[in-house]
Structure 1
Amino acid sequence: MLKARPALRRAVIWSTGAAALATTGAVVSPAFGTAPEVNATAVAANGVQWSPCKPPDDPKWAAWKGSECATLRLPIDWARPDGPTFDLAIARRQADPAARTGTLVFGPGGPGDSGVERVGTGVSRFSPEVRRRFDIVSFDPRGVGLSSPVTCTPALLAERPSPKMTSQADFEATVAYNRRLRDDCRANTKPAGIFDHLDSGQTVRDLEAIRVALGEKKLTFHGSSYGTMLGAQYAETYPRNVRAMVLESVMDHSVPTTRALLKDGAAAGQDLFNEFVKWCEGNADCALRDRDVRAVWKKLLAKAERGELATPPRLAGRLGSRLTSNDLVNMVAFRAFYQAGFKMLADDIVDMETREASGPPPRLSPLPPAVPVFCADWQLPVRNYREYASLVRTMNRTAPDMPYLLPLRLAAACLGAPTANPQHRLKPTARKAPTVLLVNSAHDPATPHKWAVSVTRQFGRKGVLVTYDGWGHGSANDTPCMEKAVDGYLTDLKVPARGTHCPAVS
């Protein structure tokens, strides 16, 4: 049976967040409060003033004992370091003082994941040895969580049109909706100006400010999923400031075109569906064993298209009582593949076969407000409906069992959006960094293994890839083999042999 793991990507957008304005400088302040300003060119002059986390009254914060919080006041636009500022929320859990090596900064994924929440609710994703040796620090990237979160009118978010366009009129309506939503989010996101500076190029500078503020001569970094893009761009921007860097479930920001990105995403989703079908063949743990899984799935897709598909009980609170076919693919199957949750998916399918739909008509689940971060990093032009329809055909030929996968929804959401940090291959400066360790599952639904291979090559001899020959999104601590490779590198800078593979756990 496949080993179940918690999903790495949990898009958490909190409506509360401190965003105090200052006219100049950079401020380090405790527990989401305020503190005296310090010069912007010496952000760490007084060090970070940590205090026990005292966030708003919310049950999810009840288990935060032992975590500390602070804020860094940073420029909204690093091209104007003395211009308007925002507060970046950071959190840490301390190492064993007797064994401490330094600080490990975790780069959260998504975009939209909260690093502050991840530190606060525990850092179990890291081994006991890493937690013993390193202070674990993470942050809410600009636009997320407690760092000036992207805020949009809920009613307008709920109006997002379906990616299933059928005409040029639909295409133009989507572009117009995207423009209205951007204007709305820009007006509601505070402080003024932050909405237009959410790209990873700005966040790279935020990460460098964190390193300086912590007083670390060199950065030890572990980036997951979307956080790997941040790590790779940090390495090309500040290669001499890296001690060690792990990139887990690797985004390849060099994928050049809309079609290439969508085709790669479709191929990864279909690969996991194929693996699911193979796992179910005669497997005693599969509720669909000895059945034609693809035929059953096809009937569910048709049922969802008719508005007759009941939501599995475990998801009803999030998705309502009925599912669209889009959410059947993305919110049920795709998310199960994140966790290598094949048994869970098979159980859901059997449940959906037999359950009668009731309640209001199905609704398309809205995309998280962190979509502007993605749009700021990816230039994905689509000229008109004809080109869009061609992209849909390419995706659906590549992934016949997984139509309208999430990458297509993101591309539709970015139609007409400006891009501040478009795709590029890593600059040669990245090869001046120390050896970077990349880890990826062979079967990853969101960051295909070929992307990890590509980014490894972009680092040249400074890139080493370790492959987990299993399934799911995130693999750094899946097995003792993977944990040993990552831990030895982080703690003692022992680089695994090139081409290392760790066997799948079944």
Structure 2
Amino acid sequence: MQSARRAARRPSSTPGRGSRGARVALLAVLALVVTGCTAPKHQAGTTPPPADVDSAPSAELEPFYAQVLAWETCDEGECAMLEVPLDYADPEGQTIRLAVARQRAGDGDAIGSLLLNPGGPGASGVDFLDYATDVVSDDVQARYDLVGFDPRGVQHSQPEVTCLAAPKMDELLAYDPDYSTPAGVQRSIDMYAEFSAACLDQTGPVLGHVDTVSAARDMDVLRAVLGDTDLSYLGFSYGTQLGATYAGLFPERVGRLVLDGAVDPTLTTEESTLAQAVGFESALRAYVTDCQAGARCPLTGDVDEGMSQVRDLLDEATADPLPTGTDRPLTGALAFSGVAVTLYSQSYWTYLTSALTAAIEERDGSILLTLSDSYYDRQSDGTYSSNQTEAFWSIGCADSRASADLDDMAAEAEKIVAAAPTVGSYFTYGGVLCAQWPVPLVGGLADYSAPGAAPILVVGTTNDPATPYAQAQALAELLSSGTLLTYEGEGHTAYGSSNDCVTQNVDAYLLEGTVPAEGTTC
């Protein structure tokens, strides 16, 4: 998940973004274009449930809570567009439309709807729905209508955040900044100012309203329109921040919320960035340890020496980009993106070994470039299959902004590099991204404790690089009804990708409301 996310980190690097989609994209499946929601085949012909109109927070919002979705059949099952206010402070003003997709409960006797968010921010829940069947257990699919939605500004929602043309995005993502001089820092600020100006020009007013608080209010409208009295929700990575925000706004509407790969929404961007840099450093060290224990590893010597060799490769790519067999050489930024994406799941470490072997032994950056492209949803024809990166940065700058003061960023960079010497530099000077963002900061909630909410299940992985375990511990404590389920292992998020213990505990909670005993570890 972006860090809280998404943290002030080097904005053109990848580590901040966190989602189940990061792993799926690595296999080029989440990047498939959803066509059904924009070009429905025919009417689904289902009888809509009664909307929960009585839960509308105000009379002005009642028409949104009372709307009836026009479901159409699509590749995901059923698709529709949800209308919500652009600005909840002006509900009678401009409106926007959010893409929604639904897969009906398998046994026809649904407990209710289970809303899904794969993270990001900026990952498409509509696209994710096709792959949720590999994540959510059969028992849960049998009893819940699975509902994916694209938050405001994301992918299939209208309007979506749009910024630079693909060639310009290529340049931005490949750029290796020089933060050693004030002029170099200013160059980066100017580049992101150009990016953000393009976002405002291409996107319009919605750019100022893609914040997480507004997205959580949208979820309550969707809950009501689906006919659910309470919200049941499965959120990964940034999706935990969205879920915690919902709980803080509507504690009385909390049903069964699973927050996996948790973000601590109370951290400053600086705190979140430091924690995430340490998380990726730790995940890389675990990979190097495993690699060197294998039969063929390009990293020689002990673990510290192996980590140094990875750093040397990143430095080499910065100083003299590696050839890739294309007209796009592998820069340091792209090399780090290729490394980082494989750390989201231990099952992808073999890809990293292949990539490092080619880069170190043959000076061939092609595999690392392919990995980097998969993370950014860049296709072989040079186009991008989603707007996740634009939405990621836009939502991040709406929610929180790091200091862009030169002295502040330099002091922060020193702390980060000291704590994460191999990868820390890619998390520094994050304040440059939002330094000249063209719309005001919105911010988050003052209180996330959600007093009176039903039990909320928080899931944390002990060596999660993108959302370090300490944040899961903090969120479980922060929520008045939070309970922590711990998975001892590697990778980002746990449900559907770890072990039977996690699945059984999450399923018992979703299906029966049974909360794991305090201290449960899988």
TM norm structure 2: 0.79
Q: Deviations over 1:185-236 (max 9, x none)?
A: 11211xx411111100110111111001101011101111111111001001
Q: Are 1:173 and 2:192 an aligned pair?
A: no
Q: Are 1:440 and 2:460 an aligned pair?
A: yes
**Counterpart in the other structure of 1:56:** none
Letter in 2 for 1:215: G
**Counterpart in the other structure of 1:24:** none
Alignment match of 1:271 (pick from 273, 282, 290): 282
Letter in 2 for 1:297: V
User: d(CA) in 1 for partners of 2:487 and 2:192?
Assistant: 39
**Greater CA drift, 344-353 or 135-144:** 344-353
**Counterpart in the other structure of 1:60:** none
**Counterpart in the other structure of 2:111:** 101
Given the superposition, is the C-alpha separation of residues 474 and 30 from structure 1 closer, same or farther in structure 2, using an over 3 Å criterion?
Answer: farther
Question: What secondary structure does 1:48 align onto?
Answer: coil
Q: Deviations over 1:83-142 (max 9, x none)?
A: 011111000101024442111001231112111111145532101111111000011111
Question: What secondary structure does 1:153 align onto?
Answer: coil
Does the 8 Å contact 1:440/1:449 carry over to 2?
Answer: yes
Does the 8 Å contact 1:9/1:110 carry over to 2?
Answer: no
Question: What secondary structure does 1:474 align onto?
Answer: coil
User: d(CA) in 2 for partners of 1:420 and 1:373?
Assistant: 10
**Counterpart in the other structure of 2:319:** 306
Question: What secondary structure does 2:64 align onto?
Answer: coil
**Aligned residues: percent identity?**
28
Does the 8 Å contact 1:163/1:412 carry over to 2?
Answer: no
**Counterpart in the other structure of 1:473:** 492
Does the 8 Å contact 1:221/1:245 carry over to 2?
Answer: yes
Alignment match of 1:449 (pick from 461, 466, 469): 469
User: d(CA) in 2 for partners of 1:115 and 1:420?
Assistant: 25
Letter in 2 for 1:233: T
Residue pairs, 1:105-504, within 5 angstroms: 105-120=115-130, 123-147=133-157, 148-154=159-165, 156-160=168-172, 162-189=176-203, 192-256=204-268, 258-284=269-295, 288=299, 292-311=305-324, 321-329=328-336, 331-340=337-346, 341-357=348-364, 368-370=389-391, 371-384=393-406, 386-405=407-426, 407-408=427-428, 410-417=430-437, 420-422=441-443, 426-428=447-449, 430-460=450-480, 462-477=481-496, 478-502=498-522
Q: Deviations over 1:435-463 (max 9, x none)?
A: 11001110111100011111111113x11
Unpaired stretches in structure 1, ≥5 consecutive residues: 20-28, 32-37, 54-63
Does the 8 Å contact 2:252/2:453 carry over to 1?
Answer: yes
User: d(CA) in 2 for partners of 1:17 and 1:149?
Assistant: 17
Question: What secondary structure does 1:43 align onto?
Answer: helix
Question: What secondary structure does 2:119 align onto?
Answer: coil
**Greater CA drift, 373-382 or 39-48:** 39-48
Given the superposition, is the C-alpha separation of residues 493 and 358 from structure 1 closer, same or farther in structure 2, using an over 3 Å criterion?
Answer: closer
**Greater CA drift, 77-86 or 293-302:** 293-302
Question: Larger % of helix: which?
Answer: 2
Q: Deviations over 1:1-48 (max 9, x none)?
A: xxxx974475969899999xxxxxxxxx979xxxxxx98513353532
Question: What secondary structure does 1:369 align onto?
Answer: helix
Given the superposition, is the C-alpha separation of residues 93 and 263 from structure 1 closer, same or farther in structure 2, using an over 3 Å criterion?
Answer: same
User: d(CA) in 2 for partners of 1:287 and 1:433?
Assistant: 51
Q: For residue 158 of structure 1, report the CA deviation from its aligned partner.
A: 4.5
Question: What secondary structure does 2:234 align onto?
Answer: strand
Letter in 2 for 1:437: L
Question: What secondary structure does 1:500 align onto?
Answer: coil
Letter in 2 for 1:446: A
**Counterpart in the other structure of 2:99:** 89
Q: CA RMSD in A?
A: 3.2
User: d(CA) in 2 for partners of 1:169 and 1:30?
Assistant: 58
User: d(CA) in 2 for partners of 1:153 and 1:18?
Assistant: 24
Q: For residue 431 of structure 1, report the CA deviation from its aligned partner.
A: 2.5
Alignment match of 1:52 (pick from 61, 64, 73): 73
Does the 8 Å contact 1:13/1:112 carry over to 2?
Answer: no
Given the superposition, is the C-alpha separation of residues 9 and 249 from structure 1 closer, same or farther in structure 2, using an over 3 Å criterion?
Answer: farther
User: d(CA) in 1 for partners of 2:249 and 2:110?
Assistant: 28
Q: Deviations over 1:279-298 (max 9, x none)?
A: 23423475657765234324
Does the 8 Å contact 1:426/1:458 carry over to 2?
Answer: no
Given the superposition, is the C-alpha separation of residues 220 and 145 from structure 1 closer, same or farther in structure 2, using an over 3 Å criterion?
Answer: same
Does the 8 Å contact 1:377/1:423 carry over to 2?
Answer: yes
Q: For residue 390 of structure 1, report the CA deviation from its aligned partner.
A: 2.5
User: d(CA) in 1 for partners of 2:185 and 2:34?
Assistant: 31
Q: For residue 267 of structure 1, report the CA deviation from its aligned partner.
A: 0.8
Given the superposition, is the C-alpha separation of residues 285 and 354 from structure 1 closer, same or farther in structure 2, using an over 3 Å criterion?
Answer: closer
**Counterpart in the other structure of 1:59:** none
Letter in 2 for 1:332: G
**Counterpart in the other structure of 2:83:** 73
Question: What secondary structure does 1:466 align onto?
Answer: strand
Q: For residue 474 of structure 1, report the CA deviation from its aligned partner.
A: 1.4
Question: What secondary structure does 2:417 align onto?
Answer: helix
User: d(CA) in 2 for partners of 1:484 and 1:44?
Assistant: 34
Q: Are 1:43 and 2:54 an aligned pair?
A: no
Question: What secondary structure does 1:210 align onto?
Answer: helix
Q: Deviations over 1:438-491 (max 9, x none)?
A: 01110111100011111111113x111111100001101221000001110011
Q: For residue 411 of structure 1, report the CA deviation from its aligned partner.
A: 3.9
Unpaired stretches in structure 2, ≥5 consecutive residues: 1-19, 45-52, 54-59, 377-387
Given the superposition, is the C-alpha separation of residues 14 and 67 from structure 1 closer, same or farther in structure 2, using an over 3 Å criterion?
Answer: closer
User: d(CA) in 1 for partners of 2:147 and 2:102?
Assistant: 4
Does the 8 Å contact 1:13/1:145 carry over to 2?
Answer: no
Does the 8 Å contact 2:103/2:147 carry over to 1?
Answer: yes
User: d(CA) in 1 for partners of 2:132 and 2:231?
Assistant: 22
**Counterpart in the other structure of 2:13:** none
**Higher RCO structure (Cα 8 Å, ≥6 apart):** 2
